[in-house]
Amino acid sequence: FEPTPLFAAAKGDIAVSFEFFPPKSDKMAETLWASIETLAPLQPQFVSVTYGAGGSTRERTHATVERIVRETHLPAAAHLTCVNASRGEIDDIARSYWDAGVRHIVALRGDPPEEGADYVPRADGYADAAALVAGLKQVAPFEVSVACYPEMHPQATCPEADLDHLARKVDAGADRAISQFFFSADAFLRFRDRAAARGIAAEIVPGILPVSNVAQTRKFAGQCGAAIPDWMDELFEGLDHKPAARQLIAATIAAELCGQLYAGGIRHFHFYTLNRAELAYAICHLLGVRADRKAHR
């Protein structure tokens, strides 16, 4: 028996982080908290909570992050976008996070509320994520993560310009870049290598999206520059009414991707959980990330 790179990876040298979104209802809040309870013993390096498009979840993001800080031992990160807000408003939000004990911000530009519209910065706002990072560092010494795009941001003129912009974010003080989801380990590893060759020293963390619903993912991927390969459609063909089989396939695909990334030297994986614990938990288990292990930093 020759272990695949994935199973060979079970050495306890892997860091993980989990991303959640703020719940809209009591029922969704119950699901989220059950997921956080399930994933917490895996000792993630951090957990993060997204900020709705155009700042639409400002209060709910704040309440969720604050509750994580208050009720768990988990290091919490708040996503913050600068679209549709003045610099003063953003600085106030950041200050209130700092006062609530939050030390880590995922700093994003965000998208305009109307789907597909061009991004036009406000005159009194932060122009882009690089300006936001610099602004946050003025407010307090936050740890800052930013976004990156292995398959290029749709608004970038070319891959080099996209990488130049990532370099600007890191030069402004970003500590790490978390990637958009992707399904080609090669695409990610090439991007990581190009970033290193460009002199970007910050850690580039792959964002892993376990997919159990291709149609939904395709709709989202259309707006964010991530390619969905044809083989994925084929794998899910005929399984519309077979949710358990879809879950198993989702875990298999994501585990294979993580194994290839591990073989390429990746030791930190960020999971887009969609507030569900099962898939992320199973993939972490395969990666050797076990409950109450010694936290890997």
Q: What is the set of active-site residues?
A: 19
> Could you tell me how far CA 284 lies from the centroid of its own chain?
16
User: Computed over its alpha carbons, how large is the radius of gyration of the chain?
Assistant: 19
Q: Which stretch binds ligand FAD (CB under 6 A): 31-39, 148-156, 245-253, 274-282?
A: 148-156
- Give the long-range contacts of residues 166-169, CB within 8 A, separation 24 or more: 166/195, 166/200, 167/198, 167/199, 167/200, 168/130, 169/107, 169/129, 169/130, 169/133
When binding is defined by CB under 6 A, the residue of 8, 28, 34, 161 that contacts ligand FAD is 161
146, 107 contact by CB (below 8 A) = yes
| Paired strand residues for 49 | 20, 78
Which phi and psi angles does 76 have, rounded to 5°? -110, 140
Instruction: Rule CB under 6 A: say whether 110 interacts with ligand FAD.
Output: yes
Q: Which stretch binds ligand FAD (CB under 6 A): 27-35, 45-53, 97-105, 241-249?
A: 45-53
Task: Choose between 140 and 224: whose C-beta lies nearer to ligand FAD.
Answer: 224
- CB-based contact 32:20 (threshold 8 Å): yes
Q: How far is the CB of 145 from ligand FAD (least distance, A)?
A: 7
**Cα dihedral: 239, 241, 244, 247 (round 10):** 50
Residue in 76, 77, 134, 147 binding ligand FAD, rule: CB under 6 A: 147
Number of residues that bind ligand FAD (CB under 6 A): 24
Stretch that binds ligand FAD, among 84-92, 104-112, 248-256, 260-268 (CB under 6 A): 104-112
Please answer whether residues 283 and 35 qualify as being in contact, where contact means their C-beta atoms are separated by less than 8 angstroms.
no
- Sketch the per residue contact string, 179 through 208, with ligand FAD: x for CB under 6 A, - otherwise: -x--------------------------x-
Q: Does 81 bind ligand FAD (CB under 6 A)?
A: yes
Residues at the interface with ligand FAD (CB under 6 A): 50-51, 53, 79, 81, 106, 108-111, 128-129, 147, 149, 153, 155-156, 161-162, 165, 178, 180, 207, 224
